[in-house]
Structure 1
Amino acid sequence: MPTSPYLQEITPDNFEAAVGLRVRPDQEHLVAPVVKSLAEAYVHPGIAWPRLIRDGDEAVGFLMAFFDIDWTGGGTDFRSGLWRLNIADKKQGGGYGRFAVESVAAEIRRRGGTRLTTTWHPGADGPAGFYLALGFRPTGETSGDQTVGVLELG
């Protein structure tokens, strides 16, 4: 019987499954490993929202979201969005990335937000096609060497 993916808070019981997730080798330069994300979540309590993506008993991915952060540091541009997305090597193409984005969008809506922001590495080997296919549009901004995209949740 097929199962549906769901999000799970990171706990001592699933920590090893989370940090054991690996993207395809050719994608490792595009996204930080889960262990780095969890370290960032630890030093940014209340900002980072890390979640394991499971399908039944299997860990298939990881996401980390953020809510209402001061994007530019000026106190006027607060954003929510997807900070990190790692889908396991052999699980890509199964709809788990879409599920992750839809889950973050639902949480942003639940918190009263109307836009989902994310960043991606540009270039032929980056995930731009994935994000554009989901309806994200580049804002014309960059964050470091990454493209900033936004999805209107209206």
Structure 2
Amino acid sequence: MTPRLEPVTPRNFDTAVAISVHPAQEHAVSSVMQSLAEAYVHPTGVAWPRLIMEGDRAVGFLMAFLDIDWHGDGSLHRSGLWRLNIAAGEQGRGYGRFAVDRVAAEIRRRGGKELYVTWHPGADGPEEFYLRLGFERNGETSGGQTVGVLSL
């Protein structure tokens, strides 16, 4: 089977919020519930939450940000990957790479040329994953996290 993305709906909400990462990763990524709450409080169209499905199994969750006001003052707009939660038992199977590829495709479809991401620094964070996919540190931090960018 090939993974696919599905919007989060009332029908699959409970499935979405049940996704949890490895306990050692919980400090590095917000829960799906928090992500969906953040999607709700931002203007319509900024947050792009999706379930990552393999057949009838939810294997992860992603949330992209699309044309968000990065500094909150209108001076800079960016798009990228806001959250990536791959279920603890589903990691290492290519779902993270699939998620990044799908977000990149959506940003390209909307005319974007760069995909941004932030990650928790440290040995237990996802830095190596993002660097392997071609992201480069751009020298910025956001909320104590490293900012990376991938040219599309």
Q: Percent identity?
A: 68
Number of the residue aligned with 2:137: 138
CA drift of 1:66 comes to 0.8
Secondary structure of 2:27's counterpart equals coil
Number of the residue aligned with 2:22: 24
Q: How many Å separate the matches in 1 of 2:74 and 2:16? A: 34
Could you tell me the TM-score, scaled by structure 2's length? 0.97
Could you tell me the TM-score, scaled by structure 1's length? 0.96
Long gaps (5+) in structure 2: none
Secondary structure of 1:51's counterpart equals strand
Question: Which 10-residue stretch deviates more, 68-77 or 125-134?
Answer: 68-77
AA at the equivalent of 1:25: P
Q: How many Å separate the matches in 2 of 1:81 and 1:12? A: 25
Pick one of 22, 38, 41 that aligns with 1:40. Answer: 38
The answer as to 2:72 corresponding to 1:67 is no
What count of residue pairs does the alignment treat as equivalent? 151
Q: How many Å separate the matches in 2 of 1:35 and 1:152? A: 30
Runs of 4+ in 1 over 6 A off after TM superposition: none
Q: How many Å separate the matches in 2 of 1:54 and 1:69? A: 26
| 1:1-154 → structure 2 map (5 Å cutoff) | 3-44=1-42, 45-153=44-152
AA at the equivalent of 1:107: E
CA drift of 1:67 comes to 0.9
Give CA-to-partner distance per residue, 1:102-151, whole Å, 9 cap, x none. Answer: 00000000000010001000111110000000000001000011000000
What is the root-mean-square deviation of aligned Cα atoms in Å? Answer: 0.8
CA drift of 1:76 comes to 2.9
Q: How many Å separate the matches in 2 of 1:76 and 1:31? A: 27
Q: How many Å separate the matches in 1 of 2:63 and 2:4? A: 14
Q: How many Å separate the matches in 2 of 1:38 and 1:150? A: 24
Secondary structure of 1:85's counterpart equals strand
CA drift of 1:46 comes to 2.2
CA drift of 1:73 comes to 2.7
